[in-house]
Amino acid sequence: MVRPIPAVGLASALVQIIDFSINALRKDHPIFQPSDASTPPVENAAFLQNLIDNLYRLTDLIDQSELKKLQQEKTAAKVKGAKLSEAATQLIKLSDLTKETTHPLIDALIAAQAKGSFGDPKWGTAREALTNGVWKNSEVKSVKKKLRTLRREVETALLLAMRQYLDQSAESGLPVFTAEDSGRLHHWEKWQNAALDAIHSHDWKSSKKKNVEEFSKIVDELVVAENEVFFSESIFKLLWFEELDERVNGIPAPATGSLGFVFGERGAHVGGLLEWFASSRGEGVYWVTGKPGSGKTTLMKHLFRNPRTFSSLEAWSGHSPGITSGYFFWNAGSALQNSPIGLLRTILYESLQDMIFGPLNQDQIVIQWLFSTRWRQFTSYGGGLEDFTFAGLRTAFNLMVSDVSKKFLFMLDGLDEMDAYPTELMDMILTAAKKDHVKFCLSSRANPMFHSAFEARPKLVLDEWTSADIHAHVNTRFNLETKLERLRGKMDGLEEANIVSTVAEKAGGVFLFAVLATTFLLEGLKEGDDFLILKDRADALPHHLDDLLAHILAHLDDADLEPVSKIHALLQSQAHAAPDLLQLSFALTAESAATLAADVRPLKPTETSKRIEDLRALFEHQCINLFEVFDAAPPTQTGDVTNLKATYSHRSISAYLSTHADALTRAPQPSSTFNTTQQWANAHLWALKTLAPSTTATDTAPLPLWRPLASALEASLALYAASKRLPLSYLDAALSTALFQHLQPATSSSSSDLPQYPATPATTLTSTLDLAAFLNLQAYLAVKLKTADRKDVRHAVDFAREMRKRVGAGGGEERWLGPGGEGAERERLKAEFGKVRGEVEGLMEYYAKAVRFGSAKPHVEVPECD
């Protein structure tokens, strides 16, 4: 495959920022305001911030271009004779001139934003904002003239570069064009092929003004393509979230041989699931319901994209292309994992991925159609890229399913676990389900809301179908239990069969009951027990799930109840009750002193394996499977221990333990005296210290340092709030560890996700003070500034100022301070960031001075420290 011509990347970035800047200065380029009365108008400060952000983004695009990096490498290597071509040198020069022209525009827009106030009349153009006391009309015209001149010079240099490329390729015999049959072409490949073909066909030369004018029209096409691709990629990024597939990936497969009835004769009869998949009767909803723990989620995962359903679905879809998407609400998950917003983001993301990158190979313009208001905002002022609202997502969904040329199947599990918009979501589902080309397979408990909405629809009450599966599962568990082998030789098997039948009968169709009861009976076997004793224990089991949980906890030894109590306390203290397995292991076992003293190094494979095996054994034997380990990775990517997570085996267990705290009071160390904040703080620091350095970190896949560091800082602020003593040693360890990892040679300073913008020295992270100053960790700074190196303080002052300028007044800091992966909230960090900075900034300026004589030191309270 032919690589992109380096000049194309830089020229594209230059033309994009030039055109965007010219539009911002035009009288006839209005700020797009939504026409929908339900959508609020865009405030002056907001669209100005979008303009600023986009100019910064395009500036970064210049600095990240291959040609700029090539120039930097040649300069750093100081290789004699290794000169860039005339065209490349000209483009490098033009890039510097372009930034010299656009940087004052950024500053002017920031000034216009600062001058405005809430309630000002809406500006129709960015030019109006600039000429409202910031720039004169003559200044606007002057900058616009410079930009237009730069555009012509960039086009001339690019034409020269591509002409030289053609001539050199002809001399060397190398291929010029990327083959169209080599798979999906990137937009730049298509453009480069078309541009080279036009240059070759028309014999265009950069020395001819008319040729440059014709070539300019082709460059316009590149800018349009770049904008379309960036907008599409941005929408996908806004729809995607880190935990999007975590729940569906973590749902275990059904027990061997179970759920066969779905694909048997009963499933094919009218009212059966397979029959409903195939039918065209206009029944748009199928409801899977049943008792808590009966296996609804397991069934939904089993059905989701199961090849055994394809023939039935094809009978319904006929010649129309089918789009299938699903969502699994999760009460134990992050805010997005149990919200309709998460649902809509997921099914829109999956559906669009299927349409564009699947067999349909649909043009990405479908994204502009679904999000037309955002597209017009983006082309107007770089807007339209804010987080999605439920209303906006619902509009896009309704528009998507209005396409009658496709058939849509949505499988939505756990509707009773959603946390907001239940009425609105139900209205959306029932309205869409009226369309003949849309179907929903839904699952929920039989709560009044869902019973009323779905009782008359085709349905499956799961616990009425699973008695045989449950009996088979319990029987298999007993057959595999080695502890029973010594007993079987003395009996005829009838007693064991009776025990199996007793457990299966008491389960009443609830698979979870059968799993827990069987584990409880088998784990409770002791030397000297026989089937008669085991039968008595089975007979003593209650008939309902909550009663079974009470029975199990009451019969656990104190030593076994302790880890149940601790794990429950640790999970409940997290916004997302499904932490990384290794982090939970650290939180359970780590001591603070040992955590601070630990070396910064990855865990050895044997250390990792032991922690995982120990926790698995703890869950199974001492905790009687009240908790489980799951792999959050797709089935094709299993085996990475960083994807292993821990949570409750079922939300019924979480609910019971949370509402029956007295059941855990026998534990030797009850949760009331177990400091979960300190234990999680230890775990976050261990995660930082043991993070394996990456040799392949890039700007698009940076080393993930920020999440564990942010979690550690959040925990430190919680400890400080509780004790009124700053955990200085802990903060030093967390910040220095993150910086050490960030600055490792294998991880270039641009490929970690810590807060920085490495395009400029001022916004490049160099010390822990930089982070503390940007994040406004005032108590920490009050302690550290007195002994800090003056140059480090000076850089921290500049770093914090320039970083805040870069993130702007529109919430740009949310990139780092918004909800983290797995729902980790950063409320304390956000509160620190938002505090008034005057005194601490004054203190930093004081310590940054070479001579302090005659300067008054601002007063900032110095906290007591641990």
Dist. CA 800–CA 785, nearest whole Å: 15
> Per-residue pLDDT averaged across 397-414, rounded?
98
Indicate the domain borders of the chain: 6-239, 246-464, 467-546, 556-690, 695-866
> Taking 80 as the threshold, does the pLDDT of residue 174 lie above it?
no
pLDDT band at 1 (very low <50, low <70, confident <90, very high): very low
- Residues with Cβ within 8 Å of 224's Cβ and at least 6 positions away in sequence, in order, are none
Smallest CA-to-CA distance from 821 within 388, 419, 334 is with 334
Band of residue 390 on the pLDDT scale cut at 50, 70, 90: very high
User: Could you give the angle at the alpha carbon of 847 between the alpha carbons of 841 and 849, nearest 5°?
Assistant: 105
Tell me whether residue 405 is exposed, middle or buried, using C-beta atoms within 10 angstroms of its C-beta: 0 to 12, 13 to 18, 19 or more: exposed
The predicted pLDDT at position 3 comes to: 67
**Which pLDDT score is estimated for 2?**
56
Q: What confidence score (pLDDT) does residue 79 get?
A: 57
257 Rama sector, left if φ>0, alpha if ψ -120 to 50, beta otherwise: left
| Superfamily (CATH H level) for 246-464 | P-loop containing nucleotide triphosphate hydrolases (3.40.50.300)
Of the chain, the percentage scoring pLDDT greater than 90 comes to: 79
As a dihedral over the C-alpha atoms of residue 366, residue 370, residue 373, residue 376, rounded to 10 degrees, the angle is: 0
Give per-residue pLDDT as tens, 514-543: 999 999 999 999 988 889 999 999 999 999
Residue 558 CB: number of other CB atoms within 10 A?
A: 9
- The rounded distance, in Å, linking the Cα atoms of 244 and 333 is 11
| pLDDT value for 852 | 72
The three-state DSSP-derived secondary structure of 21-60 is HHHHHCCCCCCCCCCCCCCCCCCHHHHHHHHHHHHHHHHH
pLDDT per residue as tens digits for the range 316-346: 999 999 999 999 999 999 999 999 999 999 9
Per the model's pLDDT, the better-predicted residue between 70 and 600 turns out to be: 600
The stretch 836-857 carries a mean pLDDT of: 87
In what helix (H) or strand (E) does residue 440 lie, and over which residues does it extend?
strand 438-443
pLDDT of residue 171: 67
Torsion of CA 688, 689, 691, 695, to 10 degrees: 120
C-alpha to C-alpha distances, 399 to 395, 402, 764, 798, nearest whole angstrom: 6, 5, 44, 48
Which of 513, 511, 505, 499 has the alpha carbon at shortest distance from 544?
A: 513
**Would you say residue 749 has pLDDT above 60?**
no
Asked if 126 and 48 touch (Cβ cutoff 8 Å), the reply is yes
Rounded mean pLDDT, 2-13? 87
Q: How does the average pLDDT of the chain come out, rounded? A: 92
What does the pLDDT look like over 180-239, one tens digit per residue?
Answer: 444 456 888 889 999 999 999 999 999 999 999 999 999 999 999 999 999 999 999 999
Contact 143, 105 (CB under 8 A): yes
Q: Using CA atoms, how far apart are residues 366 and 186, in angstroms rounded to an integer?
A: 17
Rounded to the nearest angstrom, the gap between the alpha carbon of residue 567 and the centroid of all alpha carbons in its chain is 26
Contact, 355 vs 366, CB < 8 A?
yes
User: What does R_g of the chain's alpha carbons equal in angstroms?
Assistant: 32
Query: How many beta carbons lie within 10 A of that of residue 545, not counting itself?
Result: 23
Could you tell me where the beta strands, DSSP code E, fall in 610-732?
A: 627-631, 644-648
DSSP for residue 413: E
Phi and psi for 580 in degrees, rounded to 5? -60, 140
What are the C-alpha distances in Å from 373 to residues 23, 39, 384, 388? Answer: 19, 10, 7, 12
CB atoms within 10 A of CB 724: 9
Q: Position 312: which residue type?
A: S
Output the CA torsion 284→289→295→300 (10° steps): 10
Task: Report helix, strand or coil for 754.
Answer: coil
Which band of pLDDT confidence, cut at 50, 70 and 90, is reported for residue 499? very high
Average pLDDT of span 92-121: 94
Distance CA(763)–CA(806), nearest Å, equals 9
By percentage, how much of the chain surpasses pLDDT 70? 94
